[in-house]
Structure 1
Amino acid sequence: MRKLYFLVPGTGGKFACGGLWAELKAFKLAQQVCIAEVVTYRQREPDKPFLDDLLQEPNLDNAIFVISWGFDIAQLAKKLQQHNVVYHAHSAGYKFSLPASIPIITVSRNTLGYWGQKAPNSLIYYLPNEISYEFKNLHLERDIDVLVQARKSSEYLLKQLIPALQQKCQVQVVDSYVEDLPELFNRAKVYLYDSAEYWAQQNVSEGFGLQPMEAMACGCQVFSSINGGLSDYLDPGFNCYKIAGYSQEYDVDRILKVINSAISPKLSEEFFAEYRPENIIKRWQVILEELNAFFDHKKNYPGNIPSLTRGRLLNLSIQRIKNKFRKKYFQGL
């Protein structure tokens, strides 16, 4: 198999975020299938190759560049157009298109559907994010009634719901990096997550939404928005509760009811199996075999399926209207 180069702007500092950690987890699992390496392209790091230097090397046909940083994709795709490139898509909604020569791997079925419509001639695959085994129910004493991470939380959550809950129960708001997130989830009865407002401001979608699933794996009851990739696995009324439900008072009543009833989610390990390392490694194996076959094919054959450009869509619409009028005309004879 070809070597994989996972391109990230940097591996720490200002680039540190959930999307970066998810990409690095995907990289480590890919290493179980083939040779893979992390490459930076914005900040140089002493222990990692830098993209501009790497592109000077020969025999890069034996490599696949994996790009994932949404805001940089258009620029990277252009820079790497002479090479084998795969887009590892987390969020959807970025204002760019990709040629059919760049296959797409999506982290959620929500994003899979987005690219299935936007890039109908591209090879598209589904590879969910990993929920590692450290996220499990340790059956600890749950001394936190409500847990909230401030980042990505809505104004309603931070300025209305949380102050109301603080008058009635023990609430912990996290606004910095947590060293042991599984332990914190295991101490909480309820986890609140409301990211719809945040992603609406970014004009892109929630790619996967790791935290609610990690909380569920640790035995928390989850109240969450159901936007973007969250809709892959959240099922209000069955494995979670929809937050921001009509009124603040209704939210408070439902959350207190869950806290006081000591209800724990009854989710089997089978529910999480799709997102555990073993399944993702198996999917990597299949996807990478297909990608290597595709890039072998691409060397000898050009793409020849018409793309759904604006111009072509306009022509198709005109043809449809003409055919409609022609059909009515002949029916009237």
Structure 2
Amino acid sequence: MRKLYFLVPGTAGKFACGGLWAELKTLRLAQQVCPAEVVTYRQREKETLFLDDVLQKRGEDVIFVISWGFDVPKLAARLKPYNVVYHAHSAEYGFKLPSSVPIITVSRNTMGYWGQRSPHALIYYLPNQISDEFQNLSLERDIDVLVQARKSSEYLLKELVPALQQQCNVCVVNSYVEDLAGLFNRAKVYLYDSAEYWATQGVSEGFGLQPMEAIACGCQVFSSVNSGLSDYLDPGFNCYKIAGYSKEFDIQRILKVVHNSAPVNLSEQFFAEYRTENIVQRLQRILSDINYFFDYKDQYSSNIQALTPLRLTKLRTQRIIAKIKERYFNSKT
């Protein structure tokens, strides 16, 4: 197994976010399979490798893992002579990658996007990890409705929440929570509506950890089902679809759940796909496959025709001509 270098712009300050924590979680899981280290490329940090320094070391047979969406095109170009893997969280950034770059996706939704956009690359599915602390502790639930302000829609924060606050105990979180699992275990209902946020960002929800974590802790979840959320959310069965038709209808459904429903009690089998054991096993197989590919990549050139705009135009033209010929032949017979 080659050593992995996980590239992130930085590990603190303005770069601290859910995407960074998810990437660092994957790094720690990868360390159970092979040597792996974090490498920053925008800000230098004490006791952390910096990309410029790493690239000065000649002869290292390593794999660079890139993931920061907006930086991926520049990083892929800079690292062209090296072995590179793209760890794809969100989609819709608009760039393309050569088939020499394997892609590991965090959701089947993102996998489908890259399956269409980069059909000749190696593509794998490795879901984000749900840490073991996210489980139902059977505590007293003193919060009726829990909302995290970040990524929430205007409708949720400015219309639905104020209306709910008049009828039940609503907790809106505006800052980092040290013990999120504990907070989820105190809540009866968790509201999550990220479709508007991601639409304004121009990219997609990669996975959506919070609704999954909330469900694991026993919360009844009202959520949007955009992009990666559609991997595991199943309205009517393990969640409710939020922003359903009207504010009044949402309020009625949420209050009904607050007053009458028991905590969610899904089997651990539902979460097994996202727990550590399964992810490490999948990562072992994926990295073995990728290492095998890099053993042989330089011996063969990529010779499968790409779906360029010119080739797509040619294929469409051929299809039209074939249909015309078929109609002409059928009219003669």
TM range (shorter): over 0.9
Q: Secondary structure at the match of 2:252?
A: helix
Cα distance in 2, alignment partners of residues 98 and 182 from structure 1: 37
Aligned to 1:38: 38
Aligned to 1:328: 327
Q: Secondary structure at the match of 1:29?
A: helix
Give the TM-score of the pair, scaled to structure 2.
0.98
Cα distance in 2, alignment partners of residues 325 and 258 from structure 1: 58
**Partner amino acid, structure 2, of 1:51:** L
Q: 1:15 Cα shift? A: 0.6
Aligned to 1:310: 309
Aligned to 2:119: 120
Cα distance in 1, alignment partners of residues 185 and 77 from structure 2: 45
Q: 1:241 Cα shift? A: 0.3
Aligned to 2:63: 64
Give the TM-score of the pair, scaled to structure 1.
0.98
Aligned to 1:244: 243
Cα distance in 2, alignment partners of residues 51 and 99 from structure 1: 22
Aligned to 2:9: 9
**Partner amino acid, structure 2, of 1:39:** V
> Which 5+ residue runs of structure 2 have no aligned equivalent?
none
Cα distance in 2, alignment partners of residues 275 and 150 from structure 1: 25
Q: 1:53 Cα shift? A: 1.2
Aligned to 2:143: 144
Cα distance in 1, alignment partners of residues 209 and 45 from structure 2: 27
Alignment of 1:167-186 (within 5 A): 167-186=166-185
**Partner amino acid, structure 1, of 2:5:** Y
Q: 1:323 Cα shift? A: 1.7
- More displaced stretch, 320-329 vs 138-147: 320-329
Q: 1:266 Cα shift? A: 2.1
Cα distance in 1, alignment partners of residues 143 and 241 from structure 2: 20
Q: Secondary structure at the match of 1:275?
A: coil
Cα distance in 2, alignment partners of residues 242 and 269 from structure 1: 23
Aligned to 2:193: 194
Cα distance in 2, alignment partners of residues 331 and 278 from structure 1: 59
Identity %: 71
CA RMSD of aligned residues (A): 0.8
Q: Secondary structure at the match of 1:331?
A: helix
**Partner amino acid, structure 1, of 2:121:** S
**Partner amino acid, structure 1, of 2:12:** G
- Structure-2 change in CA distance of 1:330 and 1:262 (3 Å): closer
Q: 1:52 Cα shift? A: 1.2
**Partner amino acid, structure 2, of 1:33:** V
Which consecutive segments of 4 or more residues in structure 1 shift more than 4 A?
Answer: none
Q: 1:328 Cα shift? A: 2.7
Q: Secondary structure at the match of 1:37?
A: strand
Alignment deviations for residues 163-192 of structure 1 (CA, whole Å, 9 cap, x no partner): 000000000000001111111000000000
Alignment of 1:232-311 (within 5 A): 232-311=231-310
**Partner amino acid, structure 2, of 1:7:** L
Aligned to 2:157: 158
**Partner amino acid, structure 2, of 1:36:** A
Q: 1:12 Cα shift? A: 1.1
**Number of aligned positions between the proteins:** 332
Question: Is the aligned partner of 1:213 residue 2:212?
Answer: yes
Alignment deviations for residues 2-54 of structure 1 (CA, whole Å, 9 cap, x no partner): 00000000011101111110000001000000000000001111111111111
Cα distance in 2, alignment partners of residues 78 and 182 from structure 1: 40
**Partner amino acid, structure 2, of 1:29:** L
Aligned to 1:18: 18
> Which 5+ residue runs of structure 1 have no aligned equivalent?
none
